[in-house]
Chain A
Amino acid sequence: MSLPEKRTHACFWEGLEGRYDVLELRAIHERCSGCRACELACALANFREMNPAKSALGIEGRFPVPGDYRIHLCDQCGACAEACPEDAITFEGEAYLIDHDLCIGCLLCVDACPHGVLYVHASSETPIKCTLCGACAEICPRDAIVLEGGA
């Protein structure tokens, strides 16, 4: 398994298509310093909004004890799709995506997510889910989030 090179453009996984069978985000918690630029980048890439509350990942600072960070990411496990009564969440090439036209906003997927990374925001009846766009990994200056390809 090799790490993709850092790019300077959004959606940087586009160039990786075809090179790997699977792409996934991986968190390396010890590298995180809690700056939350990933949250800003996620909301900018997916909603064109300066608003970390609309990001599909979360940084948890565990203070005062033990004194470290945990990165909560979607690993495309598909539990949300299984929970969805409307089959509104489907695997599209790289990631499980929500069809917001089919979604009825029951939020069963939010409850079903084992990582707690499906988010509800007041501006929308349907939840926010990771699209595997890679914006978080791209901006992380410490490579605490990396987009990895595997065979």
Chain B
Amino acid sequence: MLYGYAGTMLEVDLTSGRIRKTPVPDDLARDYLGGRGFVARLLWERLRSGTDPFDPENLIVIATGPLSGHLVPASGKTHFGTKSPATGGYADSNMGGHFGPALKYAGYDVLLLTGRASEPTFLVIEDESVALRSAEEWWGRGAITTEKGLKKELGEEFRIITIGPAGENLVRFACISHDFGRQAGRAGIGAVLGSKHLKAIAVKGTGGLPVFDVDGLYEKGREAYLKVRAKPGFAGWTPEGTAGITDWVNQVGAFPTRNFQTSYFPGYQKINGKAVVEHLKITDKGCFCCPTPCGKYGKASTSLGTVHVEGPEYESIALLGGACVLGSIEEVAYANYVCDELGLDTISGGVVAAWAMECFEKGLLSEEQVGREIHFEDLESVVYLLEKMASRDGIGDLLAEGVMRAAAKLGRGSDSFAIHVKGLEWSGYESRNAPGMMLAYMTADVGAHHNRAWALGHDVAGSAASVHDLISAGGGRDKMAKAPVAGKAERVIDLQHIRPLFDCLGICRLQYMELGFEGQNYEELFYLVTGRRMKWDELLEVSERVWHLTRAFSKREIEGFGRKYDYPPRRFFQEPIPDGPNEGHFLTRDELDVLLDEYYQARGWDANGIPTEKTLCRVGLADVAEALKQGK
């Protein structure tokens, strides 16, 4: 018996409507745990190599972890994966909320989607019952509007994911939305749902989960719930949530400002965590079973109207507020709401809008091409661009492709400030004087995303200090020294194993990473849920296996994949930061090569960044090594 798991994988072929239920294989659970691990392995095994991301045959994997839905701190995570329309390689993105636990209570650890429905459709799962229904009346409508409407139709107890118009219109950075403010935001998985004509999935589960030691888990889970809040990080983090880190990031000169032209934002106090709490917040809004809620739900009034919105969280503040240069938290919240309703990732959406505004500023896009004047510091410009992107109307058709493809099309040097890696837009940490963070962005499997390894703290403090310690210590130096480039690989690799481990377990990493809740707690909780004794280091080995596997997946799927896909845009190795604490700093191309060489070597990859046969065999991926060798 697989304790902890619901035990079943649910496969839905949207073309034929065929539904299949199969047991979760024991070896899959043993070697990959769940969540991101399941996503990576199932994509590798089941996706026909060379499938276009928008081909009906592309596969979407929705996976929970063994700890999802249990009385374990922050057990609300759900993982989504597919072949990415943004990068053409491996994609996964996760969200909190209540959807994954509901899926497990309904009896399913994993949901696999293939095919394309002949008309707009939504999937309703109610315990054993699985049905496809027409979503004709919801097609074209907003993600939040649709979630509310479906809850009215089906019942409030249903947990629902939706896509907005951006997903329907195959915007390459469309997100998946849930619980009126949670998103699996990155890598364009919402667009793959759109390509399958699947508008929403609603789940209601009423079954229980098998637990190895239910009394022990109740005791330990309850204890953990209190212990997390007793951590010193709690008081510093939870009142403002992720938005609380805005000041620190800005003070250390890493805040993406004006499409990453610079890294210090003078108006930061108008868009920081304090502003969220003072000007917007109605309530804290937590994910399932989370004692330390990051979510702040509130209300914002601007010249364009009044909206209710969750957040903004840090990333939305950084990319909509910083990169687009908005002047108040209300304006950031409004743009955040527009993204949420349209089903756009706020990170990519912000970066794409910022790129367009810089193109306009430089005369590379004309008023005629855009349809109006667009400027930084102007909410109307930002909202105009977001709406165009989501509908692919006019200039939006170019922007909906993301900055990499849009810059390739526009040309004239616009690629030098198209801020992405592998085709995925950069998230909220400007890294020209943060070589560890730069390396993390360069080597993240999904593209320029921070959550695989947040190494900025290490760059700044030179230690493995917790985020809480860093924030308490403050930044605020007038001038940052140039950070040393050598010796970054080890810490980045450590982080790339730690954080994604939580993605395999199906829980949030925040309690560990940001609050300091120790690893041995998770060993114990994992044992009580599953009955498997695994040491922290053994758990991390799973994470390492997955890391090599996702790299191999991208190698298999992207023609000519390798080192050249790991570089940032030219801005980051040619333009010194013009002002702020990091004035004058940047990384040269040679320094980037030092970062990559050290990293590849430490990883056991060749000089082109491909895992060697020896490395793959060492981590239990001999079959993957064989497939790569045969060019499959």
Interface 9-residue window, one of A19-27, A59-67, A75-83, A93-101: A59-67
Q: Which residue of A lies closest to B295 (CB)?
A: A33
Interface 9-residue window, one of B39-47, B165-173, B208-216, B562-570: B208-216
Interface presence of A151 (CB below 8 A):
no
Interface presence of B287 (CB below 8 A):
yes
Q: Are A63 and B71 in contact (CB under 8 A)?
A: no
Interface presence of B226 (CB below 8 A):
yes
Q: Which of B196-250 contact A (CB under 8 A)?
A: 205-209, 211, 214-215, 217-218, 221-223, 225-226, 229
- Say how far B498's CB is from chain A's closest CB, in angstroms: 24
The proximity string for B residues 272-306 relative to A, scoring 1 for CB distances below 8 Å and 0 otherwise, is 00000000001111111111010101110000000
- Say how far A42's CB is from chain B's closest CB, in angstroms: 11
Q: Are A50 and B297 in contact (CB under 8 A)?
A: no
The proximity string for A residues 46-82 relative to B, scoring 1 for CB distances below 8 Å and 0 otherwise, is 0111111110000011011111110000000000000
Q: Are B180 and A141 in contact (CB under 8 A)?
A: no
Q: Are B144 and A49 in contact (CB under 8 A)?
A: no
Q: Are A141 and B208 in contact (CB under 8 A)?
A: no
Cα A60 to Cα B218 in complex, Å, equals 24
Q: Enumerate chain B residues within 8 angstroms of A30, measured Cβ to Cβ.
A: 283
Q: Are A33 and B283 in contact (CB under 8 A)?
A: yes
- Say how far A8's CB is from chain B's closest CB, in angstroms: 7
The proximity string for B residues 175-201 relative to A, scoring 1 for CB distances below 8 Å and 0 otherwise, is 000011100000000000000000000
Cα A52 to Cα B102 in complex, Å, equals 10
Interface presence of A139 (CB below 8 A):
yes
Q: Enumerate chain A residues within 8 angstroms of B405, measured Cβ to Cβ.
A: none
Q: How many A-B residue pairs have CB under 8 A?
A: 106
Q: Are A53 and B206 in contact (CB under 8 A)?
A: yes
- Identify A51's interface contact among B207, B285, B287, CB under 8 A: B207
Cα A139 to Cα B223 in complex, Å, equals 9
Q: Enumerate chain A residues within 8 angstroms of B289, measured Cβ to Cβ.
A: 35-37, 40
Q: Which of A1-42 contact B (CB under 8 A)?
A: 8, 10, 30, 32-37, 40-41
Q: Enumerate chain A residues within 8 angstroms of B286, measured Cβ to Cβ.
A: 33-35
Q: Are A67 and B283 in contact (CB under 8 A)?
A: yes
Cα A68 to Cα B284 in complex, Å, equals 9
Q: Enumerate chain B residues within 8 angstroms of A44, measured Cβ to Cβ.
A: 71, 214, 218
Q: Are B206 and A36 in contact (CB under 8 A)?
A: no
Q: Are A50 and B291 in contact (CB under 8 A)?
A: no
Q: Which residue of A lies closest to B69 (CB)?
A: A50
Interface presence of B555 (CB below 8 A):
no
- Say how far B463's CB is from chain A's closest CB, in angstroms: 30
Interface presence of B98 (CB below 8 A):
yes
Q: Are B283 and A68 in contact (CB under 8 A)?
A: yes
Q: Are A141 and B209 in contact (CB under 8 A)?
A: no
Cα A66 to Cα B98 in complex, Å, equals 20
Interface presence of A138 (CB below 8 A):
yes
Given contacts A35-B286, A35-B293, contact A63 B70 (CB under 8 A): no
Q: Are B308 and A34 in contact (CB under 8 A)?
A: no
- Identify B283's interface contact among A52, A69, A138, CB under 8 A: A69
Q: Are A66 and B207 in contact (CB under 8 A)?
A: no
- Identify B71's interface contact among A33, A50, A69, CB under 8 A: A50
Q: Which residue of B lies closest to A138 (CB)?
A: B222
The proximity string for B residues 533-561 relative to A, scoring 1 for CB distances below 8 Å and 0 otherwise, is 00000000000000000000000000000
Interface presence of B482 (CB below 8 A):
no
Q: Are A36 and B179 in contact (CB under 8 A)?
A: no
Considering residues B105, B148, B297, which has the most beta carbons from chain A within 10 angstroms of its beta carbon? Answer: B297
- Say how far A9's CB is from chain B's closest CB, in angstroms: 9
Interface presence of B361 (CB below 8 A):
no
The proximity string for A residues 98-123 relative to B, scoring 1 for CB distances below 8 Å and 0 otherwise, is 00000000000000000000000110
Cα A77 to Cα B239 in complex, Å, equals 36
Q: Enumerate chain B residues within 8 angstroms of A67, measured Cβ to Cβ.
A: 282-283, 297-299, 308
30 CB < 8 A contacts A-B: A8-B222, A32-B283, A33-B283, A33-B290, A33-B295, A34-B293, A35-B289, A35-B290, A36-B98, A36-B289, A37-B71, A37-B225, A40-B70, A40-B221, A48-B218, A50-B209, A50-B211, A51-B206, A52-B101, A52-B105, A53-B207, A54-B208, A66-B308, A67-B297, A68-B297, A121-B206, A122-B127, A138-B222, A141-B226, A141-B291
